[in-house]
Homo-oligomer: A and B are copies of this chain.
Amino acid sequence: MSDPLVIFTPSGKRGRFPAGTPILQAARSLGVDLDSVCGGRGICSKCQITPSFGEFPKHKVTVEPDALSPWNAVEERYKSKRNLIDGRRLGCQAKVLRDVVIDVPPESQVHKQVVRKRVEARDIVMNPAIKLYYVEVQEPDMHEPSGDLERLIAALREQWELEDIRADLHVLQSLQPILRKGGWKVTCAVHIGDKDEPTQVMHIWPGFFEGSIYGMAVDLGSTTIAAHLCDLQTGKVIASNGIMNPQIRFGEDLMSRVSYSMMNSGGAKEMTDAVREGMNALFTQVSAEAEIDKNMIMDVVFVCNPVMHHLLLGIDPFELGQAPFALATSDALNMSALELDLDIHPLGQAYLLPCIAGHVGADAAAVALSESPNTSEDLVLLVDVGTNAEIILGNKDRVLACSSPTGPAFEGAQISSGQRAAPGAIERVEIDMVTKEPRFRAIGSEIWSDEPGFDTVIKDTGVTGICGSGIIEMVAEMRIAGILDGPGLIGSPEQTGSPRCFLDGRTYSYEVWDASETGGPKITVTNRDIREIQMAKAALYSGARLLMDKLDVDTVDRIVLAGAFGAHISPKHAMVLGMIPDCPLDKVTSAGNAAGTGARIALLNTDARRDIEQVVQQIDKIETAIEPRFQEHFVNASNIPNSVEKFPILETVITLPDLNFNLGHGDKNKGRRRRRAR
């Protein structure tokens, strides 16, 4: 009679094993992904499995009730202690006796999948850099006088197949008492090395360690720093939070920070200190929220733009401020968290994603990691809009990237009534085609400005300004309603038929809201605001267009808007404005904070780090500054489109009025030029 058959689901892997073989052992010999931290010693309860009984025609097998060894005392203990669900067994305790079908539930897999919310996004497969291993270490023997560390390393090699392990002094200093306290049984946190890093024991606990270890995924932006604390065993986000980047006091945008460093000796160091201090404050805050010991944070992944990348590392960003925009280093970096002054586990690790180019940073690499354009069948355009827009275009055949200097207008800066996205900021706008009257919604309220209750809702904050996504809608709606012409001039009350247009210096402005009677602001859109938006959108569009030229295409299959800002942009208005190339509206999606997601993926899966390092090598980097076609596109793209023909693929046909207010009222300079030309 042949040995009993063991069939694992969902993998479908199967094999015959002598009666009495533990399920965990069968799983291992078949390469079935069944977790265990204690190595099958009935301690960790990670190897939970669900046996199925009855007829399985698909597998041509019948599983009898006595197919496994009886429920035992170890399992009984975990049943009460750790809520072993009914029907579950421990894989290391249950032994195969007769043919059986064994289901490995998702949480029992080593390479667990962490589900992402967006349907189109791939799940994250768990494979963190730091893992826990329980080992039993041989006691010292005067006949074979090897060191305690060497016997620990031998145990890790023999029991877990970990090779070329070393231990830092910190570990060595506590090793001997811990080994003895644990009775030569210890749990190790091991950092699995790659080519340029050794595999390293990071921490040792006596006996079996019941707790968890953590990692932090950090999106280090020019304006905000967001940190996501993740459990390195389950992959779950335990807590997230963000703070303003403390470097803001040295300059709102990146170039002003580069300038600060150029103008002030030691300026770069001041900014490095500021961002590192801010980071530590944020880590303290997030750890406190999660009620975990900050010392149990063992791994940190950073994504950031090149200037933040250099400032985090303590490298003067001087060279990034001038052609040829040379990065000090572009490859991914592994380092000790201590080198970044991070107050986490003393042997904490830090990983920075690679930079793509001098203007296309690790944040763009993280977006690429999250959205994987390099595996896409469709031609996808990824746009992460900030002070610089990072633009990635490609599919499985080829990926290109560039950045485009959009300036801070999309973040509400340099706009007369602009402000950051915060309660009270106008974020949604509609302008009536007939009355030219605006209605809007402000952040913090779902009620539109012409709906009942709006007054009470905004009482707390008032209407304070217009945020980035609001200004895009505002300008687009002004164009649709005929308040704005194609070249970007606001018309007079006579030209537009709207009393909200008023002469403001030499050009016209459009009044959106006036709370000055009650001490509130007067919110207007000036012609200068329009210019800023035109410049920004032209830069963005030209970058995308340049990449499309390189691939010799006129349309893209889909557009993904990344970043906090991207999540709030109305695709319709963006397209009316000419920010992004034409694309079916339902193919324009938001990826949310894709850079942050990329950081989280890299934190939870080291294979993903190797992947993105490879992908970044293969991306064609386009430097807009030296591409003559970028300038050409830029000049052509500053106009706001003049007619409906530009939007054949918008779901609703929008007719833009054919206007040119310039004939009546030129701005000062245009007037001058015209006079000279005569």
| Cβ–Cβ contact B315 & A176, under 8 A | yes
Query: Quick one: given A175-B328, A329-B172, A330-B150, are A196 and B164 in contact (CB under 8 Å)?
Result: yes
Query: Using an 8 Å CB-CB cutoff, how does the interface string of A627-660 with B read, 1 for contact, 0 for none?
Result: 0000000000000000000000000000000000
Residue of B whose beta carbon sits closest to that of A320: B176
A18 within 8 A of B: no
Contact residue among B141, B177, B316, B325 (Cβ-Cβ distance under 8 Å from A324)? B141
Q: Which of A21-29, A33-41, A297-305, A618-626 faces chain B?
A: A618-626
Contact residue among B141, B149, B327 (Cβ-Cβ distance under 8 Å from A148)? B327
CB of A633 to closest CB in B, whole Å: 18
Contact residue among B139, B147, B196, B358 (Cβ-Cβ distance under 8 Å from A166)? B196
CB of A494 to closest CB in B, whole Å: 50
Residue of B whose beta carbon sits closest to that of A622: B143
| Cβ–Cβ contact B326 & A623, under 8 A | no
| Cβ–Cβ contact A147 & B327, under 8 A | yes
A376 within 8 A of B: no
A677 within 8 A of B: no
Query: Quick one: given A176-B316, A196-B198, are A143 and B328 in contact (CB under 8 Å)?
Result: no
Q: Give the complex CA separation of A150 and B333 in angstroms.
A: 12
Query: Quick one: given A327-B145, A623-B145, A626-B143, are A318 and B150 in contact (CB under 8 Å)?
Result: no
| Cβ–Cβ contact A324 & B142, under 8 A | yes
Across the interface, which residues of B come within 8 angstroms of A166, CB to CB?
196
| Cβ–Cβ contact B313 & A173, under 8 A | yes
A140 within 8 A of B: yes
A263 within 8 A of B: no
Query: Using an 8 Å CB-CB cutoff, how does the interface string of A105-148 with B read, 1 for contact, 0 for none?
Result: 00000000000000000000000000000000001111111111
- State the interface size on chain A (CB cutoff 8 A): 51
Q: Give the complex CA separation of A175 and B319 in angstroms.
A: 11
| Cβ–Cβ contact B142 & A329, under 8 A | no
CB of A466 to closest CB in B, whole Å: 36
Q: Is the interface of A mostly helix, strand, loop or mixed?
A: loop
Query: Quick one: given A197-B198, A315-B176, are A169 and B331 in contact (CB under 8 Å)?
Result: no
A288 within 8 A of B: no
Across the interface, which residues of B come within 8 angstroms of A143, CB to CB?
621, 623, 626
CB of A366 to closest CB in B, whole Å: 17
User: Which of A145, A324, A357 has the most B CB atoms < 10 Å from its CB?
Assistant: A145
CB of A140 to closest CB in B, whole Å: 4
A339 within 8 A of B: yes
A323 within 8 A of B: yes
A195 within 8 A of B: yes
| Cβ–Cβ contact B150 & A329, under 8 A | yes
A433 within 8 A of B: no
Across the interface, which residues of B come within 8 angstroms of A358, CB to CB?
142, 145
| Cβ–Cβ contact B316 & A169, under 8 A | no
Q: Give the complex CA separation of A148 and B324 in angstroms.
A: 11
| Cβ–Cβ contact A195 & B164, under 8 A | yes
User: Which of A146, A177, A313 has the most B CB atoms < 10 Å from its CB?
Assistant: A146
Contact residue among B173, B195, B196, B357 (Cβ-Cβ distance under 8 Å from A314)? B173
The 5 closest A-B pairs by CB, nearest first: A147-B330, A140-B326, A145-B357, A149-B329, A147-B329
Interface set of A (CB-CB < 8 Å, partner B):
139-150, 164, 166-169, 172-173, 175-177, 195-198, 313-316, 318-319, 323-331, 335, 339, 355-358, 621, 623, 625-626
User: What are 13 A-B pairs at a CB distance below 8 A?
Assistant: A140-B325, A142-B323, A142-B358, A145-B356, A146-B327, A148-B326, A148-B327, A149-B330, A149-B331, A150-B329, A166-B196, A169-B335, A172-B328
